[in-house]
Amino acid sequence: MKIDIFTFTGTGNTLRASELLGEELYQLGHEVSLHSVKADFVFPGSDADLLVFAYPVHAFNAPKNFLKFLKKIPKGELPVCLLRTSGEPLKLNDASGITPRRILKKKGYFVQAEYSVVMPYNIIFRHSDGMAARMWLDAKIRMKKAASEITEKTVTLCKVGLFRRFVSFVLRIEHVAMPVLGRTFHAGKNCIGCGACVKLCPQNNIRMENGKPKFGGSCVGCMACAFGCPHDAMKISLLNGWRVNGKYDFSGIPATDEEVCSYCKKSYLRYFHETEAEKEAFFLGSNP
Ligand SMILES: Cc1cc2nc3c(=O)[nH]c(=O)nc-3n(C[C@H](O)[C@H](O)[C@H](O)COP(=O)(O)O)c2cc1C
Ligand code: SF4
Ligand code: SF4
């Protein structure tokens, strides 16, 4: 099959997961193209047999710019899959697929599957590198499984009840608040005016003025600027206490069950243990 993967990423997690899925699909003999969804990205048209749309969960919803992108793609009848990353393995995150599914269905597409991968938080608090490594190991297993399910055309959609739909609708804070809040972001005294944040912003929402970054009104709160600033100089207004800065190291030793973070520990353990059987096969070398 020819497969096009369209990814929006703020701080790289969703891109990493997409690349992983792409690699696994390629290993299974598919022809895969990756596309990065940014502010100036226009749907290039596609002669693929299947499309994958990947996004990070923002306040239990798909990011606003990502929904805007989906609304702009032409009508079609292809099968499509959704891939999402989130910082925690809560069921409520599944509600983020409701609007993308509705938009795609309305355009004629057949939504075949949804895949969720937990990756380290880029806001609220910093996961340990051990947690990042364990998430990454789990992501490898999940993306391998997803690739074989895509190949077999397995239909796997998340069931989301009315209560979760309602809660995610009420909590769509990114959609409502970020255009306003994003304007109040600013650089603190550590800023050396390097302009890295300008390049990192997928929304082209930052410009340099008198050697300092200035923010426009199209912020989607992706945290690329705050996360990627080499001097941790970004002040993100009311969210500043939740700022996370600096890349994760995914290559270390995965956290043991005991080392899993105390926040939502039960949910993380349940999530990690879901792939236990596949993990064994992975370590036995049948899935190098
Ligand atoms: C504004 C914002 C809201 C978020 N909301 C959620 C959330 O509701 N649930 C969750 O599990 N993770 C949430 N996260 C965490 C991200 O979904 C997670 O870190 C994701 O992997 C980031 O992907 P990216 O690096 O591709 O941007 C949020 C992150 C941001 C920046
Ligand atoms: S990346 Fe950081 S140091 Fe560089 S201009 Fe932006 S805020 Fe300043
Ligand atoms: S201003 Fe920062 S948080 Fe807002 S969209 Fe740009 S990079 Fe993301």
pLDDT in tens, 38-51: 998 988 888 999 99
pLDDT for 28 equals 97
pLDDT for 280 equals 74
Structural domains of the chain ordered from first start: 2-169 (3.40.50.360), 173-242 (3.30.70.20)
What's the rounded Cα separation, in Å, for the pair 33 and 10?
A: 20
Distances in whole angstroms, Cα of residue 46 to Cα of each of 6, 149, 160, 240: 11, 22, 30, 40
Instruction: Name the closest ligand to CA 225.
Output: 3
Q: How far is the CA of 58 from the centre of ligand 1 (A)?
A: 5
Query: Which ligand 1 atom sits nearest the alpha carbon of residue 119?
Result: 21
Residue nearest atom 8 in ligand 2 by C-alpha distance: 191
- Please, which pLDDT band fits residue 287 given cuts at 50, 70 and 90? very low
- Please, which pLDDT band fits residue 284 given cuts at 50, 70 and 90? low
Quick: pLDDT tens for 61-107: 999 999 999 999 999 999 999 999 999 999 999 999 999 999 999 99
Residues with a CB atom less than 6 Å from ligand 1: 9-14, 56-60, 85-88, 90, 93, 119, 121-123, 174, 221-223
What's the rounded Cα separation, in Å, for the pair 91 and 165?
A: 11
pLDDT at 279 over 80: no
Alpha-carbon radius of gyration of the chain = 19
Are 180 and 145 a contacting pair, CB within 8 Å?
Answer: no
